[in-house]
Amino acid sequence: MKIASIILLFLFFSACKSPEARYPVSQNSGSYIDESVERNKEMIAEEEDYIKQVMGKNPDTEYLTSADGFWYYYNKKSTDSLNNRTPEFGDVVVFDYSISTIEGDPIYGEGEKATREYAIDKEKLFTGLRQGLKLMKEGETVTFLFPSHKAFGYYGDKNKIGSNVPITAKVTLHSIKKEEINNETNNEN
């Protein structure tokens, strides 16, 4: 009985031991991440150089550079001095667009992408188009040249646009509806 009590006491105290941290078998220095960052920087630089070469082949077109890292030009610019409003957060815009390669080969032709309603920054849309719409005024048509990281990136669109493909998007903004803010007031009588 004494031996059983000792064994039970030993098991009791060993079971009450606090858990020890487990350390990884191997540690990475982060060099993989650093290499990945360098590869991405090089890829972006190559894409931007290529886009600039394509723009250089069209000297009659006035390309503008956005602060967000893409280029664009106006196919149809608004001349209405009263129409100087661009969409803001929450505004609902109606637009349609087509997508081509940087060289101009159609990927999604005009009419292939349906006219779309979009609430600015409240719905999913690829980064470049989301930022590009904010530069437009009602009735304008703009062609955007997006590096792949502003378009569909590494994954593509899982249909016609592959991995890391820079694109051109021709966008027509039909209308901008200001976000309606619901102000509920209490009318006490």
* Cα(52)–Cα(177) distance, integer angstroms: 35
Residue 102 lies in a domain: yes
Please indicate, yes or no, if residue 114 is contained in any of the structural domains.
yes
pLDDT of residue 32: 82
Q: pLDDT tens digit string along 151-180?
A: 999 898 988 999 999 999 999 999 999 877
Q: pTM value? A: 0.76
| Each residue's pLDDT tens digit, 8-45 | 666 666 665 566 677 766 666 667 888 888 999 999 99
Q: What pLDDT does residue 6 have?
A: 76
Q: Is residue 37 part of a domain?
A: no
Q: Which domain holds residue 113?
A: 65-177
Residue 86 lies in a domain: yes
Non-local (6+) Cβ contacts of 49 within 8 A are none
> CB 68: neighbour CB atoms within 10 A?
14
Sequence-distant (≥ 6) Cβ neighbours of residue 42 within 8 angstroms: none
Residue 127 included in any domain: yes
| CATH label of the domain that carries residue 69 | 3.10.50.40
Q: In whole angstroms, what is the distance from residue 126 CA to residue 154 CA?
A: 12
Is the pLDDT reported for residue 7 higher than 90? no
Would you say residue 142 lies in a domain? Answer: yes
